Amino acid sequence: MFLVKPQFEVLFLHNLPRLLNYNFYKLKLTSVKEIAIKKCQDLEKTRKKLNYEMIVLNIMLFVLLILILISPFLGMRAAFRAKGISEILFSFIGLPIICTLVLLFVILRRNKIFKKYSTIIKTEFIPKLLDDEFDEYKYFIEHGVDINKVINTGLVKSPDRYSGEDRIDGVYKGISFEVSDVSLMVRIRTKNRTSYVPYFKGKWYIFNFNETFDDTIMIVEEGKPYAHKGLTKVETEMLGFNEKFNAYTNNEQFFYYVLNANLIARIIDLVKKMHGRLMIYLANNSLHVGINSFKKEFFKIKLKERIDNKMIEEFEEDILFYKTIIDDLSISGTKFNK
């Protein structure tokens, strides 16, 4: 499922607290503005309703767990007091079974509520933020960047399980890009079970520019690329950079041409602005930037949080970080777009 930028005449997201105030209706508004205000209010009403239901389910969940835990003691109590066999069996077997079935229903209902709210936010709220930022974009809610593009960089190994979501395709300063949440997992087998453990979980950016390079540069923070055969480890004149990053290339002249002192300083500044370990791959006409934070990055949806300026700012920070990368690394400059 993906969303393509709709055409909105008016966006009021930066004034949501004001929009959510019913007294705002006292102003003389155009019909378009009234529709925008009502939409924001409806989203907040929906959130409150779903959050109330979630609270009730959480209370039920707690009570059911307590009943399951104490059911053996109720059975023993019935036995010691010489109660009938039916009461004893109910305490030992019947009550736990009933509580377990209701517990499963509660868990499924909780998951359904959160999924419903997540869908509402991603189909009715996020597109407005994207529309405010992009002239043209595509938003793929249930898809991530192409896993083959990620693996072909050699920065990370091929996963046993991959998932990606919230992919955004857009253009900024003539640079086309795509970004999404990415989770790469390795299968761990033990004697009794098989589990999947993430070794990369965060954002993956791919920028495409006009210039095509014949050589390759790989930079990894606090580690080394999974596959760097044919590349030589190189160092810069900045000791702080060398201590924090490992850099590889097949052409040192090309490396120092691209990674001058100014760009090195910009990379260090970029790391300070993000949360996670940085990976960079430059080859052909693409720049890959991976940020391994070991957590979901895009659109962290919390049912208990109001739809307000704080929520908007957090989402915008996620969305706008592509600008930080392009501007800080000067990807739109003549070096990459001759």
Q: What is the pLDDT of residue 171?
A: 86
> Is the pLDDT reported for residue 15 higher than 80?
no
Q: What is the pLDDT of residue 320?
A: 76
Token pair for residue 156? 């990370």
Q: What is the pLDDT of residue 248?
A: 94
Q: What is the pLDDT of residue 174?
A: 80
Rg of the chain's alpha carbons, rounded to an integer?
Answer: 26
Asked if 286 and 336 count as a contact pair (C-beta separation under 8 A), the reply is: no
Helix (H) or strand (E) holding 312: helix 309-328
Mean pLDDT score, 127-132: 79
Q: Which of 69, 87, 71 is nearest to 79 (CA)?
A: 87
Q: Which of 156, 153, 180 is nearest to 169 (CA)?
A: 180
DSSP per-residue codes, 194-241: EEEEEEEEEEEEEEEEEEEEEEEEEEEETS--S--TT-EEE--S-HHH
* 332 Cβ neighbours under 8 A, 6+ residues apart: 172, 173, 174, 175, 209, 326
* 43 Cβ neighbours under 8 A, 6+ residues apart: 120, 121, 124, 125, 307
Q: What is the pLDDT of residue 312?
A: 72
Q: What's the mean per-residue pLDDT of the chain?
A: 78
Mean pLDDT score, 230-235: 90
> Is the pLDDT reported for residue 8 higher than 50?
no
Tell me whether strands 175-189 and 161-172 are parallel, antiparallel or unpaired.
Answer: antiparallel
- What is the C-alpha separation between 67 and 308, in angstroms, rounded? 39
**Amino acid letter at 135?**
D
> Is the pLDDT reported for residue 17 higher than 70?
no
> Is the pLDDT reported for residue 262 higher than 60?
yes
Q: Which of 26-30, 173-177, 333-337 has the highest mean pLDDT?
A: 173-177
DSSP classification of residue 82: T
